[in-house]
Structures are given as C-alpha cells and as structure tokens.
Amino acid sequence: MKFEDLLLEIGGFGRFQILILFILCLPRINLPMHFLLHNFLAATPSHHCAIPHQEAFVNLTMEEVLLISIPREPDGTFRSCEMFSQPQFHLLLNSSLQPENNSIIQHCQHGWVYDHSQFTSTISTQWDLVCEQRGLNQATATFFFIGVTMGAVVFGYLSDSMLAIMRTLTGVALSGVSLIVLPLGMEWVDIQHRTFSGILTSIFWSIGNMLLAMVAYLVREWHWLLVAVTGPCLLSIVCLWWVPESARWLIANGKVKQAHRHLLRCARMNGRKDFAVSPEALRRMATDKKPGGSYSYISLFRTPVLRKISLCSGAVWFGVAFSYYGMSMNLTGFGLNMYLSQFVFGVIEIPAKMIMYVVMNRAGRRQSQAWALILTGLCIGANVIIPKPFTSLRSVVAIMGKGFSEAAFTAVFLYTSELYPTVLRQNGMGYTSFVARLGGALAPLVFLLDEVWRSLPEVTYCGVAVCCGSVAFLLPETLNAHLPEGIEDVEKAQVKGPPQISAPEGMPLQSLLK
C-alpha cells in the first residue's frame, strides 16, 4: 500500500490541496525580492574621481574640468578609477591628444562622484565600494547566499558591518522557506497534479521578480528599498504557520496520530465524508522505517543508487544556480535598462515555465532538466561571440537564455523532490540547496574575472552550465512514478510507466486500511 493510493480516497487534488498551494505560493513571491535584491541594493552607477577645487578651474565648465583631470577610455568615456596627477590643460585645445605617459595617471585620491539620476543611494555609493573595493561590493551578495556569520569578520573594519550580518541572517532564514515550499505542497497532491503544483509555485517566483523591478523603480534609496521588500515577510510567516505538516512524512516517521488528524481534515474539506482510516492502518503503511532508526545527510551517500543520485543532483543544482544568478545579476550587460531587464526577465520566465510543464510531462524529467541547462549555457556562450554593437540580438539571446535558465531551475526543484524518498526528502533538498547556495555565492564573484579577460565570466558560466547539464543524463527518470517512501524504494525502483492502484479489482481501498 502506497500513500498515492490513500490520496485517491481522500482526494488527491481538491479544495484542501488548492488552499495549501495558494498559501505556499505567497511566501514564494518574497524569495526573489531578496535573492535578487543585490542588483539594486548594491548597484554601481557611473562614477569618476572627485576633483578638488582649484583657482585655475574658475572659468572652466564641469565638462572641461573633467577633460583635463580624468583620462578617457578608447570609446571616449571618462575612466572610473583613475585621474591625472596634474591638470592637462593642453587637452582643452585638442582633446584627442590623450597623454601616453602613464606616470602622470594615478588612482582616485579624493573619493568619487556618482551619477544619481538612476539611484538616490546604494551601498556602493554610501561606502565607495568601487574600483579597488569592488570585490567587497560583490561579497555582499556572497554573504547572502552562503548565510554564514563570517561576513561580520571580513567587513569588520567597515561601517556597514551590520548590513553584512543582517543580509547573512536573511539568507539563512529565506533558504528555509525556499526548501520547504515545493516539497510540502507536492507531498499532498496526487501523481497527475505533481508537475502542476511544482510549476504553479514556481510561477509565483516570477511574479516576485517582476514586483522587485517595480518596487526598486519606485524606491531609489537603498535603506527604504530594504524595508519595502522585507515587510511582506511578516505575511509569509503567518501563512506558513497555518500549513499542515506533510502526512506522507509523518507516516514515514511513525507520527501516525498527527498524520491521521491531517488526513481526516483533508478528506472533510474535499467532500470525502465517508472516508475512515485507523491510526493502526497508517502504521502498516510506513516502509523502510526501522524502530529507533534515524536519517541524516550521511544517509544520502550510504547506498549505491542514492549516492549516485546525490552526487549527480548536487552537480546539477550547482550548475543551475551558478548560471541562473550569473545571468540574473548581470542586468546591465545586455543593453537594456536595469529595471526593464529585471521586469522582462520575470515576464519571460512565465511562458518558459508553462512550456516546461508540457515538456516535462511529455519528454520526462531527465531530458527536460538536461537540455534546459545545456541550452542556458549555449545562450550565454553565444553572447560572447555576438559583437557588442548588435544590442538587439544580444538582448534576444539573453532573454532566451534567461528563459532556459528559469526552466532549468523550475525542473530541478520538482525533479529532486521526486528522486529522494520521503524519509530523506528534506535532507536531500537541504543538501542540494546547500550546493546551489555555493553556486549562488560564487556567481557574483565570477564577474571579477573580467579583469583577466573581458569575456571570461560568460565563458565560465557557459562551461559550467553545459557540463552540469550533461550530468543530468545520469539521473533516473521519475515521470509518472510513485514518490519513494523509504531508501529501499529508491534502490530497487524500476520506473516502467504510470503506477497502478494497489487494491485488487473489485475491492474498495478502505477495506485494506481498516
């Protein structure tokens, strides 16, 4: 007897499941508003070295002062991190005669002047996290994704140390919300609606993406922006408090009385008032649960099949998160306005997820996961080859890549939840999420590689996505399979097609449970 058979009796997708999914979807809106907040919280507007006032500048316009004080890039723009040690007045006569003597060029000595037309303030402008301090700016995103208190040590000498601590703790808290939402919703629905529930909760992530763009557009000061995206978290706390624990997990862990109470509640809400099952019958349904036994992260690697699943799924999660956040945190690299890029990226995710719903039910989880991630990498790599002047083409390829990236992220949550048994599902999701956070933590730091070679970050994202996507081909298929309850279900599983009801023909399922 499997839990899916029990779901058929209490209603596998009724009012109870719809209400749970709706409640779980509300916290999902909050997640991207923090996971991608770094794009606006730490945005670096155009800037140049601050130039101290001199008597010789009295009759000069600001443009002329910049001309004689700051060297230019080959494209004619002023450099952001360097200035002349002495004013070069001869440039007023011929600005094209840029000095070739690097000895008269030095780093900024008096701070920076920022363009405030797009942002009133960011952490970059408040603490001058530019030029030599640029790595510290990217590190604020890393602190969020790693979720450890080392941020306070690294940033100890800065006045923004509290920011580092709070962003770190925020990452720790939100990672828990991210982990429980999809598995908890999926474990309450039947096989036919499992993909739908995963796609539905994922769509609310995209809605949060779009809301972040709108909120950031309206709130340009980073302190108030942080308040604006954090306030709704209170609603998420209230919502999650109501959601019942997974009856599937409770049964697998021997907590049958609690499971029995939730099952009866589900049956009543779904109009199955004739449903009756005793706690003793639920105890007989628990599989692979040894008396006094316990499971930990080590259990993910003890048996051959689970070990292979854990190693391969870890690699896939790393590639998905690494490439996703690599694209999501490079809003200025595709020729669009930052706010528009964020909004468009959110919009494109919704049709990508709807297409993924069809593809995953037709082609299966494994093929969908692998090719979505591989195509993400190929789109990133294509933009390395496409010349910069082809702005429209680069934007189209970037949007396609973002769609494939989100499709890969949508698939990996559902796929991983189906790969692990109930007794280890949260451990498996915790482990893979940890690996994903490593990918998310490294993604913003890879942007610093552009100092070695301008295209090296994109090449890195491309290579990791293609390699990790190929690893997905090694995972077993889970389409139309029962969710495994115990470890032995995973080790002995042979997915051959849609599962059948366990009850013999003509015998009601309730008679087996009484």
DSSP letters along 42-82, please? Answer: T----EEE-----GGGTTS-HHHHHHHHS-B-TTSPBPSSE
Cβ atoms of residues 494 and 410 within 8 Å: no
Residue 177's pLDDT is: 63
Helix (H) / strand (E) element for 106: namely strand 105-107
| Chain centroid offset of residue 168 CA | 16
Residue 322's pLDDT is: 93
Task: For residues 342 and 364, give the distance between their C-alpha atoms in angstroms, rounded to a whole number.
Answer: 30
Residue 171's pLDDT is: 55
- Burial class of 45 by CB neighbour count within 10 A (0 to 12, 13 to 18, 19+): middle
Residue 508 tokens read as 């009601």
- To the nearest 10°, report the CA torsion of 63, 67, 73, 75: 50
Task: For residues 67 and 80, give the distance between their C-alpha atoms in angstroms, rounded to a whole number.
Answer: 13
Residue 319's pLDDT is: 96
- How much is the mean pLDDT over the chain? 81
Residue 195's pLDDT is: 83
Residue 12 phi/psi, 5-degree rounding, is -80, -15
Cβ atoms of residues 328 and 31 within 8 Å: no
Helix (H) / strand (E) element for 28: namely helix 15-35
Residue 333's pLDDT is: 54
Task: For residues 328 and 439, give the distance between their C-alpha atoms in angstroms, rounded to a whole number.
Answer: 13
Residue 356 tokens read as 């993924």
Residue 143's pLDDT is: 67
Tell me which residue of 269, 272, 244 sits closest to 259, measured CA to CA: 244
Residue 132's pLDDT is: 86
If one counts every other C-beta atom within 10 angstroms of the C-beta of residue 5, the result is 19
Cβ atoms of residues 187 and 249 within 8 Å: yes
Task: For residues 4 and 291, give the distance between their C-alpha atoms in angstroms, rounded to a whole number.
Answer: 24
Positions of the chain with pLDDT under 70: 1, 143-180, 182, 285-293, 331-336, 493-514
* Measured CA angle at 226 (ends 221, 231), to 5 deg: 130
Cβ atoms of residues 473 and 363 within 8 Å: no
pTM of the model as a whole? 0.73
